[in-house]
Amino acid sequence: MAELKLTDVEKTYGGTVQVLRDINLEIEQGELVVFVGPSGCGKSTLLRMIAGLEKITGGTLEIDGQVVNDVPPSERGIAMVFQSYALYPHMTVRDNMAFALKIAGDDKATINAKVQAAAEKLQLENFLDRLPKALSGGQRQRVAIGRSIVRDPKVYLFDEPLSNLDASLRVATRIQIAQLKEEMPDSTMVYVTHDQVEAMTLASRIVVLAGGGVAQVGAPLDLYERPNSTFVAKFIGSPAMNLLGGTIVGTGAVTTVKTHEGGGTITSDYPSTEADMGAEVEVGIRPEDMEETATGDFAFEGKVAITEALGEVTLLYFDTDAPDQEPIIGKLPGIHKDLRGSNVRLTAAADKVHLFKDGISLLYRDQKVFLPGVQPH
């Protein structure tokens, strides 16, 4: 039985403004599911509906087999960790963590044991007698997580828990959350973030939300390797996947495409049928899958307008002919500042060349794909 089951869930504000629709998701016990999507797509709203902080205006939400649409937050068996920690400033770490247990009427020995166990999991044993103001942001967030752990909830909900932390603390706390999840393999977690690295590294599955619906659900590397639409292709991965217009000139078990910009010919492992001959498609190649070539097939040839040498890699930004076309980006290992101003041909292995028709991957054209009417940014 799914720990969390959302069936045709929708959210309408004020009877007219629909922000989410047709949300169908099953989250199994032990999963860590991450919601990502462009700003305003409804990630927090969906999380808050699961928590019971926001009314569900259509569909059903089940936790552990029980419909909980009208069950108050405190009776849902969930714990929510917010970006803002929400600690009581005048209470020590120990008292913050013990608070909910005291309210619930647990005895002192039980409370102490639970607080101690949570503090050990979160490396907070040495801070139990401090006030929140004497802690770093990362430590405060761990106290907030500890406050959830002591309650042993069925589901943990995290709403951008790391977004108030600076870059290095963010990395350290992200790794602690990953370790914590490993120590609690049976706990179910739902996590909202803007951060691609958090999504890719923490998630067992990612839910890409956009335009009020679910664009794709899958394991992080599935979404990276087999995005179902140009939207997901551009949203997952940084810098974003390049999309080149092209015409199919060879069909079968592999597909050959002549590209418009930069006039190359490239082969993709995506299969096609004879009926696809001559079809207009978009060829997707990630910057990191582009290779420089002097001979043979290539996807794109152009003049390098800008180089960004980052140390281990160099990003090449190409001039494109079409005024509304985003720059084509290549990411080559090593330092290549000298390529600025020169003509470069880029190619990619056939298994790294994605094909999309009308925004939908050729691999997914027999499936229902939700195409959001918004562009990722």
Ligand X SMILES: Nc1ncnc2c1ncn2[C@@H]1O[C@H](COP(=O)(O)OP(=O)(O)OP(=O)(O)O)[C@@H](O)[C@H]1O
Provide the binding-site residues for ligand X, judged by CB under 6 A. Answer: 13, 17, 19, 37, 39-45, 194
- Residue 44 vs 267, nearer CB to ligand X: 44
Q: Is the CB of 202 or the CB of 299 nearer to ligand X?
A: 202
Question: At closest approach, how far in Å is the CB of 83 from ligand X?
Answer: 9
Question: Which CB sits closer to ligand X, 45 or 229?
Answer: 45
The alpha carbon of 232 is separated from its chain's Cα centroid by a whole number of angstroms, namely: 10
Instruction: Specify the residue, 41 or 180, whose C-beta has the smaller distance to ligand X.
Output: 41
Identify which of 340, 13, 51 has the alpha carbon closest to the alpha carbon of residue 190: 51
Residue type, position 291, single letter: E
CB of 20 to ligand X, least distance (A): 8
Q: Facing residues of 191 across strands? A: 34, 158
**C-alpha–C-alpha distance, residues 26 and 277, integer Å:** 39
User: Among residues 44 and 69, whose Cβ is nearest to ligand X?
Assistant: 44
Cα separation, 215 vs 188, in Å, equals 22
Question: How many CA within 13 A on the CB side of residue 189?
Answer: 28
Residues 3 and 29 sit within 8 Å (Cβ to Cβ): yes
Q: In 10 A of CB 323, how many CB atoms? A: 5
Coil vs helix vs strand at 151: coil
Least distance from ligand X to the Cβ atom of residue 13, Å: 3
Tell which residue, 5, 22, 112, 20, has the closest CA to residue 65.
Answer: 5
Q: Give min distance, CB of 159 to ligand X, in A.
A: 8
CB of 269 to ligand X, least distance (A): 34
Closer CB to ligand X, 19 or 240, in the complex: 19
Smallest gap from residue 234 Cβ to ligand X (A): 17
Q: Let me know how many helices (H) and strands (E) the chain has, helices first.
A: 8, 21
Per-residue tokens: 264: 């190359």
